[in-house]
């Protein structure tokens, strides 16, 4: 016999977004049931942000040894113990896992159900043999690797972000399909850990980012020794001895690429299967669940957050959306999700970080009222001292000095982006950034330099010189 449990909030999916909603609501006094059919922590902890950044940290360590000769230190090719690297990655996951565990969330007052949840009515979700009837339900089921329709692909072993972190032995040659953040990060990490890598992209490297900045990353990937096969269509995949053969069409040329392992990183797909959304009157579109500005689905008692909505697929975005849902459900406030000041970072070396409008989008929207300023890291003393002077900051400014967007490609770009997120989110003008006192010598000085560059043509114009000479004449 099934039983029915009445609660205030039912959350389906214990990834970053679902965990944030559940923890926040429970600690505010709501009765919450959290449903997870697989691993607590979701993709971010187990297959995404955490393991990839742990792997990148190992790769950066190897590269530091490799390039230390430029500082007069004994630089040499490091010996990489790939099995030990794998233990490091899983050790990091294990260290964070208790924070996302069933035990911790039950300690916070959340009732956790381990099983697959599915809708059986507008306000009812079935899990195992239990019906959860909730005042509000939140779908936070995330996404998974989208597997393209490529001839022969399903007949060969291939890796995704869910399986590549299980490798305890270094691949002899890794072929990566996909030039987005996942493909670029994992390609570079493996290359710097001593693996031969071929990266195949349909467009360029990081095609959703500013092309100038993406080209900086592409040059570094090539300098690392990654074979870049850009603007290529993957035709077929087949076994080749103990490895993999990939046939691609690059322009008018057909090429055969061979490797020992294949990583598919060609995009993400929302996890909506098995939820029986139709029984709750929840509409979908090709990218995921349709939501309004308040993250409500077509069933106003059901909200959806994170990757499952088909929007920006970032852990920090899911966390932001969790707060929006809590304000809407617990406090009945008509809170809306942020759309303008949404940052993202690709953690290659150099990093590429962006917020707001890119140059092309800004010019399309605002025409000739857009001003673009660029400051290279080579003009920043700290970058020169650390010999990390590749890349630049690029700021897009609109009418009246309004900051519209910023892209930074260079060392620690993700860390340097935050003041621009704050500025855009609060609709600040470029003068606010130009007026700050930047500590010297820091990489952060690049933001003040970029803001100052906007005023340079005016400050040092013939008109200002005439005004200064006139004022000095009466001094």
425 phi-psi bin (left φ>0, alpha ψ -120 to 50, beta other):
alpha
183 carries a ligand binding annotation:
yes
225 carries a ligand binding annotation:
no
Q: Which residue has the tokens 């792997």?
A: 55
400 carries a ligand binding annotation:
no
117 carries a ligand binding annotation:
yes
307 carries a ligand binding annotation:
yes
Q: Which residue has the tokens 């990390």?
A: 388
Upstream peptide bond of 138 is cis (omega within 30 degrees of 0): no
Closest by CA to 192, choosing from 233, 242, 143, 226, is 226
178 carries a ligand binding annotation:
yes
Q: Which tokens hold the place of 285?
A: 């579109």
142 carries a ligand binding annotation:
yes
267 carries a ligand binding annotation:
yes
Q: What angle do CA 255, 259, 260 make, to 5 degrees?
A: 160
180 carries a ligand binding annotation:
yes
Give the Cβ contact number of residue 273 at 10 Å: 10
CA distance readout (Å), 15 to 155, 301, 305, 325, 326: 31, 21, 11, 15, 16
Closest by CA to 351, choosing from 447, 416, 444, 263, is 416
Contact assessment for residue 290 and residue 208, using Cβ atoms and an 8 Å cutoff = no
182 carries a ligand binding annotation:
yes
Report the binding-site residues for NAD(+): 178-185, 267
Residues tagged in the binding site annotation? 53, 117, 141-143, 178-185, 267, 307
Binding annotation for FAD: 53, 117, 141-143, 307
């Amino acid at each position: 016999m099934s039983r029915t449990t009445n609660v205030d909030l039912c959350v389906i999916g214990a990834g970053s977004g679902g965990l944030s909603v559940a923890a926040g609501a429970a600690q505010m006094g709501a009765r919450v049931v959290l449903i997870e059919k697989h691993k607590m922590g979701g993709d971010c902890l187990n297959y995404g942000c955490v393991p990839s950044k742990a792997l990148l940290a190992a790769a950066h360590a190897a590269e530091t040894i490799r390039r230390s000769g430029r500082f007069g230190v004994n630089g040499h090719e490091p010996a990489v113990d790939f099995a030990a690297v794998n233990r490091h990655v899983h050790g990091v996951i294990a260290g964070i896992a208790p924070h996302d565990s069933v035990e911790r969330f039950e300690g916070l007052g959340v009732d956790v159900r381990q099983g697959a949840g599915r809708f059986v009515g507008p306000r009812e979700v079935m899990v195992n043999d239990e019906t959860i009837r909730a005042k509000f339900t939140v779908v936070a089921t995330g996404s998974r690797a989208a597997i393209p329709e490529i001839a022969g692909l399903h007949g060969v072993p291939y890796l995704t972000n869910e399986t590549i972190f299980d490798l305890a032995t270094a691949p002899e040659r890794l072929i990566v399909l996909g030039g987005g953040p996942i493909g670029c990060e994992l390609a570079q990490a493996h290359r710097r850990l001593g693996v031969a890598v071929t990266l195949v992209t349909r467009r360029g490297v990081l095609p959703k980012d500013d092309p100038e900045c993406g080209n900086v990353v592409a040059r570094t990937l090539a300098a690392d020794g990654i074979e870049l096969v850009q603007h290529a269509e993957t035709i077929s995949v087949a076994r080749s001895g103990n490895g993999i053969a990939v046939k691609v069409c690059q322009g008018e040329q057909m090429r055969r690429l061979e490797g020992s392992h294949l990583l598919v990183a060609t995009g993400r797909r929302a996890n909506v299967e098995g939820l029986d959304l139709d029984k709750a009157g929840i509409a979908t579109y090709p990218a995921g669940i349709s939501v309004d500005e308040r993250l409500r689905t077509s069933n106003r008692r059901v909200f959806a957050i994170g990757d499952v909505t088909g929007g920006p697929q970032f852990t920090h975005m899911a966390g932001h959306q969790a707060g929006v849902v809590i304000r809407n459900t617990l406090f009945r406030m008509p809170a809306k999700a942020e759309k303008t000041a949404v940052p993202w970072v690709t953690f290659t070396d150099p990093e590429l970080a962006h917020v707001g409008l890119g140059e092309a989008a800004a010019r399309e929207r605002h025409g000739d009222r857009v001003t673009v300023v660029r400051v290279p890291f080579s003009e920043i003393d700290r970058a020169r001292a650390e010999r990390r002077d590749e890349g630049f900051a690029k700021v897009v400014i609109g009418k009246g000095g309004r900051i519209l967007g910023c892209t930074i490609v260079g060392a620690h770009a993700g860390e340097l982006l935050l003041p621009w997120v704050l500025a855009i989110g609060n609709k600040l003008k470029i003068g606010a950034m130009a007026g700050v006192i930047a500590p010297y010598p820091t990489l952060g000085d690049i933001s003040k330099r970029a803001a100052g560059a906007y005023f340079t043509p005016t400050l040092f114009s013939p008109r200002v010189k005439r005004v200064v000479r006139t004022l000095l004449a009466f001094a």
